[in-house]
Structure 1
Amino acid sequence: MNETINDYLHFLLIERGLSENTIKSYHQDLAEFANYLSKEHVDRFKDVNARIILNYMKYMKENGKARNSIIRFISTMRKFFKYLLRFHYIKNDPMIKIDTPKQAQHFPSVLTTKEVDRLLNTPDTNDKYGIRDRAIFEVMYATGLRVSEMVHLKMDNLHLEMGIIQTLGKGDKERIIPIGTQAIKWINFYVSSSRSKLLKNRRSDYLFLNAHGGGLSRQSIWQKIKHYVALAGINKDVTPHTLRHSFATHILENGADLRIVQELLGHSDISTTQIYTHISHEHLNQSFNKYHPRA
């Protein structure tokens, strides 16, 4: 089974051109399912039927898996068994008998503008690392970039004299994003004062560097945000994606068109962007309740 899974992951990489993170997600779902099958003494995917899959979904729920994780698993299995059928690993697709549970509605965590200001002002900008971290947070909040896009941001992606940056998003789709004066100021300050110290006479195309002069990882930015959120005294579960959510929510609250936000975030489908309209409506309700004399 592991060999079949590896063949499938290679197919996703070479034939479908999926990103490394997406393939890791598929691998995790498939490896966990294969481990379950092994415990159930099922050693071939051709022996998997709908009953086994339903039992595994029940097993996932009993072991605390979130509804959306189970939905993701079903999506992974649908694609995987279609692949197995196409290349004659199996004769029947068990997923045709499996319904997808309704997805739980999830509203992303968002910082207030005051909380964003507190977070941005927390790094010690008398320190080369603090200057770098302030620049990272300023760019994330100014552009709504995904953390994967941040770590791959290169010097030649910057066109600061025109007030824009380039990035490659999901599916290697390029987009051009405007960037505000505050973020530009902090990028220039970081490049002129800290980046050369981090390089230590080495060469790197990446904008944001670690202590060894190499590019930062997604995990390191996640850890930095957790660190500074705690220092700022913000009592929310904040991740790199929270700054992206906050970016989208705040510009919608200030009158931006939903289609513009879709373009800025790099969403292929506007239905993905519409989650932010629910947050903005909540903001309107709060404002009404606070300011209307008869609310």
Structure 2
Amino acid sequence: MNDLTILNHLTSEQYLSQLKYKLEDRQLLDEHRNLSLSESSEHEFLELFFLVKIFTSNKQLSPHTIKAYRTDSKTLLLFLIEHSLSFRDIGFPEVKAYNKYINEKYAAKSAVRKLEFFRRLLDFGYETQFYKAHLSTWISKPTLKKGHYIIEETRQNDAQTRVQVRELNQRDAEYLISFFPKVVKANRNREQLEKRNLLIGYLLYTTGLRASELVNLNWGSFRYNRQGHIYADVIGKGKKPRTIPMREETIELLFDYRKSLGESIDINPYDSSPVFFALYNKKELGENKKRLSYPSLYKIVKEAVHLAGKHSKISPHWFRHTFVTMLLENDVPLAIVKDWAGHSDISTTNIYLERVNQDNTHVHLNKVNLFR
């Protein structure tokens, strides 16, 4: 293993289809017709790992997830090269050495992700007989702090840290959203771009949508229920569908945005056209709309954050945390918040509730008569 060329192919559909075709000519099945890589090359092992375990046919990966896999694989490959190791050389000492390296170099959240990637690779190697031992059992991941936090060093060369919640208060959220339209620099389609950006801010703040869910919204994602209220149907993590009620303020902005595009505000559940699409450098608003990408959404938020002079680490996901916290602060039942947010387990939602309760402890303290 003397280069990192495989990293250039991880997102290539053509490469993957060719690889699937080549598999038909490879003798990679044992006597039980199970995948066996005991005699395969290391390059082949890595190719098949990504094909079988990462780029599966039933899972659509977001650009953010693909980028993370690329980064994690590169970290491992560079470690092996630096120590003159191959994949075949990995054993107990190498697992512990890489584990120690990751824990020391990266923050807990990044370390957990990189070690999880390493674990999956080792497990795949054991399952396919590339490794004779179950090496992943020796991996030790750091403990993550529960909840949605960022950790910042308060003093150089000091273990003391300051913990900050990755969410906004109501005043800062509303203030920040007001800058979404102000990031527009183009003159062409300026009105439509400003309305689009403002709607993006409101949807992030009033629905708790993940960024990937927001950019994947179609006009047909919206519908009226039997009482005449508008809901959004989205597909979340793990392709799990959920339904989110829409606030009147957001609905007004949605219709206003549609009108500015010269499009009908009649809701059509069969309309698969994207709600958000690229408008820059377009002479006309044609039928072939290119869906707004995650990097473009991320850029809108970051530029708004910069103009507003807010914390540089604020990202689209901060609005999701803000939404969940505000629901719980306003006594929306835990089970309903779980469903709206699309949490797979109520224990995730309960982490927010625990912190909300901690922030309200002063209410209980003030009820106690400590002085006569």
Does the pair score TM above 0.5?
yes
How many correspondences in the alignment? 287
- Where structure 1 has 5 or more consecutive residues not aligned to the other structure, the ranges are 197-202
Higher mean alpha-carbon deviation, 100-109 vs 180-189, is at 100-109
Q: How far 1:15 moved relative to its partner?
A: 4.6
Q: How far 1:86 moved relative to its partner?
A: 1.3
Distance of 2:94 and 2:241 partners within structure 1: 42
2:206 counterpart residue number: 142
Amino acid at match of 2:129: H
Higher mean alpha-carbon deviation, 278-287 vs 93-102, is at 278-287
SS at structure 1 position matched to 2:324 = helix
| TM-score, length basis structure 1 | 0.86
Higher mean alpha-carbon deviation, 71-80 vs 176-185, is at 71-80
Distance of 2:363 and 2:252 partners within structure 1: 33
Match of 1:19 among 41, 46, 60: 60
Percent same amino acid among aligned pairs?
26
Higher mean alpha-carbon deviation, 138-147 vs 92-101, is at 92-101
2:95 counterpart residue number: 53
Give deviations 1:199-228, integer Å, cap 9, x for gaps. Answer: xxxx98110112254211111111111221
Q: How far 1:96 moved relative to its partner?
A: 1.3
Distance of 2:180 and 2:275 partners within structure 1: 18
Distance of 2:297 and 2:331 partners within structure 1: 30
Distance of 2:43 and 2:262 partners within structure 1: 44
Structure with the larger RCO, 1 or 2 (CA within 8 Å, 6+ apart)? 1
Give deviations 1:95-136, integer Å, cap 9, x for gaps. Answer: 112333322345341111111221233344883211111101
Amino acid at match of 2:357: H
Match of 1:88 among 113, 116, 129: 129
Match of 1:159 among 206, 223, 236: 223
- Where structure 2 has 5 or more consecutive residues not aligned to the other structure, the ranges are 1-41, 150-164, 183-189, 264-270, 281-288
CA distance 1:105–1:246, shift in 2 (3 Å): same
CA distance 1:80–1:204, shift in 2 (3 Å): same
Distance of 1:127 and 1:293 partners within structure 2: 58
The RMSD of aligned alpha carbons is 2.8
1:193 and 2:260 aligned: yes
Distance of 2:56 and 2:306 partners within structure 1: 43
Bigger helix fraction: 1
CA distance 1:89–1:235, shift in 2 (3 Å): closer
Larger Rg: 2
Match of 1:120 among 173, 177, 182: 177
SS at structure 1 position matched to 2:360 = helix
Give deviations 1:163-222, integer Å, cap 9, x for gaps. Answer: 1011111111111111111111111111111476xxxxxx98110112254211111111
